[in-house]
């Protein structure tokens, strides 16, 4: 039996970790509309090798939005296994300095070009244009019973 290590490099076995920031103000959630893909998502992105989740979230938000986040507790995590076998772990953290995100000029951020627009949105106004699709359900639970999302580190 030959040892072929290329199978371990295929995207079908690849695992990624993503970190996201959650900011809620007046029943609206802060979202970023991706320049390529056209859908809205929570701010954040993929961890780089050797980076902790908090380091990665801080870096991603500063790069994309130009704002230093005050990162709060982990509020949600989920494992997504895609049809091609790709596994992604999502970690969502509360961002506590919500007011600093009200008037962002993404043209001044080093990676602001990754988004068409950013801001606080009522999900009903962008129905079907956001990911994950369970976001309204999760926000409803969060608003009603936030303690269900608080997870120990």
- Can you read off the two tokens belonging to residue 21? 């920031």
Tell whether 39 is covered by a domain.
Answer: yes
Residue 28 sits at the vertex; the CA angle it makes with 27 and 34, to the nearest 5 degrees, is 160
Residue reference for tokens 């970023």: 32
Tell me what pLDDT residue 148 has.
61
Tell whether 3 is covered by a domain.
Answer: no
Tell whether 19 is covered by a domain.
Answer: yes
Tell whether 6 is covered by a domain.
Answer: no
Tell me what pLDDT residue 83 has.
80
Tell me what pLDDT residue 120 has.
95
Tell whether 101 is covered by a domain.
Answer: yes
Range of the domain at 62: 12-148
Tell whether 7 is covered by a domain.
Answer: no
Question: Which residue, among 65, 151, 73, 139, has the nearest Cα to 106 in the 3D structure?
Answer: 65
Question: Which residue, among 50, 48, 49, 55, has the nearest Cα to 71 in the 3D structure?
Answer: 55
Residue reference for tokens 């600093």: 100
- Spatial contact of 101 and 30, defined as CB atoms under 8 Å apart: yes
Neighbours of 6 (CB within 10 A): 6
Per-residue pLDDT of the chain (153 residues; tens, 9 = 90+): 444 433 344 444 588 899 999 998 888 899 999 998 889 999 999 999 999 999 999 999 999 999 999 999 998 888 888 788 889 899 999 999 999 999 999 999 999 999 999 999 999 999 989 988 888 887 887 777 766 655 444
For the whole model, what pTM was predicted?
A: 0.83
Question: Which residue, among 4, 26, 55, 32, has the nearest Cα to 143 in the 3D structure?
Answer: 26
- Structural domain count, the chain: 1
Tell whether 4 is covered by a domain.
Answer: no
Question: Which residue, among 107, 8, 29, has the nearest Cα to 66 in the 3D structure?
Answer: 107
CATH code for position 35: 3.90.79.10
């Amino acid at each position: 039996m030959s040892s072929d290590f290329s199978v371990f490099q295929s995207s079908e076995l690849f695992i990624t970790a993503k970190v996201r920031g959650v900011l809620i103000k007046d029943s609206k959630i802060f979202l970023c509309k991706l320049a390529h893909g056209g859908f809205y998502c929570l701010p954040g992105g993929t961890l780089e090798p050797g980076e902790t989740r908090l380091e990665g979230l801080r870096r991603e938000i500063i790069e994309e939005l130009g704002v230093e986040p005050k990162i709060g507790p982990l509020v949600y995590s989920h494992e997504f296994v895609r049809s091609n076998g790709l596994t992604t772990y999502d970690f969502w953290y509360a961002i506590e300095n919500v007011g600093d995100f009200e008037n962002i000029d993404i043209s001044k951020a080093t990676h602001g070009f990754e988004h068409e627009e950013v801001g606080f949105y009522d999900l009903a106004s962008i129905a079907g244009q956001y990911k994950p699709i369970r976001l309204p359900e999760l926000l409803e639970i969060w608003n009603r019973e936030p303690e269900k999302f608080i997870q120990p580190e």
